[in-house]
């Protein structure tokens, strides 16, 4: 392509750009008629009042249904997980017997028995066993991976 043809092409592009601007300004967006807005708003309000007056709600969108199902699934999974842990701990307790008495508790009972007598020692032992049963096991004992799980879920 020679220099003359390049100059002609540049002039032609410049002329087309000017025409395009003129056409663009001639075709300006026009506003809708004022009565059209009021007609549309009244039609929308009529349709909305029909649904609420008869007690009919619009069907939820699929996105909402899927979101609700996902949330319900997560809740059920957490509940099932807790049930499975409780059942497993119960079965292990049945198989292995009761948990051993912590060394500190047995030492405390021995000290009380040596000072006050066997009856008081038995009473302290019963109180300690009762408080241990009413106290839920520590989360770290029940599931050592809780902390790691929460760290993994953090964004």
Over the stretch 71-116, which tens digit does the pLDDT of each residue have? Answer: 999 999 999 999 898 888 778 877 877 677 788 888 988 998 899 8
| Bigger pLDDT: 49 vs 16 | 49
Q: Is the per-residue pLDDT at 15 higher than 70?
A: no
Can you give the pLDDT at residue 100? 76
Over the stretch 121-143, which tens digit does the pLDDT of each residue have? Answer: 899 888 888 887 666 555 545 55
Can you give the pLDDT at residue 81? 92
Residue 83, classed as helix, strand or coil, is helix
Both tokens assigned to 20? 């395009």
pTM of the model: 0.33
Question: How far is 92 from 96, CA to CA, in rounded Å?
Answer: 6
CB atoms within 10 A of CB 109: 20
Both tokens assigned to 87? 């059942």
Question: How far is 108 from 38, CA to CA, in rounded Å?
Answer: 85
Mean pLDDT value across residues 23-34: 71
Over the stretch 42-59, which tens digit does the pLDDT of each residue have? Answer: 888 888 777 655 566 666
| Bigger pLDDT: 136 vs 26 | 26
């Amino acid at each position: 392509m020679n220099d003359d043809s390049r100059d002609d092409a540049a002039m032609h592009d410049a002329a087309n750009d000017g025409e395009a601007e003129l056409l663009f300004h001639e075709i300006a967006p026009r506003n809708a008629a004022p009565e059209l807005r009021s007609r549309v708003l009244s039609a929308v309000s009529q349709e909305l009042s029909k649904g609420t007056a008869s007690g009919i709600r619009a069907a939820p969108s699929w996105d909402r249904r899927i979101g609700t199902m996902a949330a319900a699934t997560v809740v059920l999974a957490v509940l099932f997980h807790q049930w499975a842990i409780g059942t497993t701990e119960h079965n292990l307790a049945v198989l292995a017997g009761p948990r051993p008495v912590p060394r500190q508790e047995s030492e405390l009972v021995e000290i009380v028995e040596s000072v006050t007598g066997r009856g008081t020692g038995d009473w302290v032992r019963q109180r300690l066993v009762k408080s241990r049963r009413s106290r839920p096991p520590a989360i770290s004992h029940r599931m050592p991976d809780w902390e790691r799980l929460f760290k993994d879920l953090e964004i």
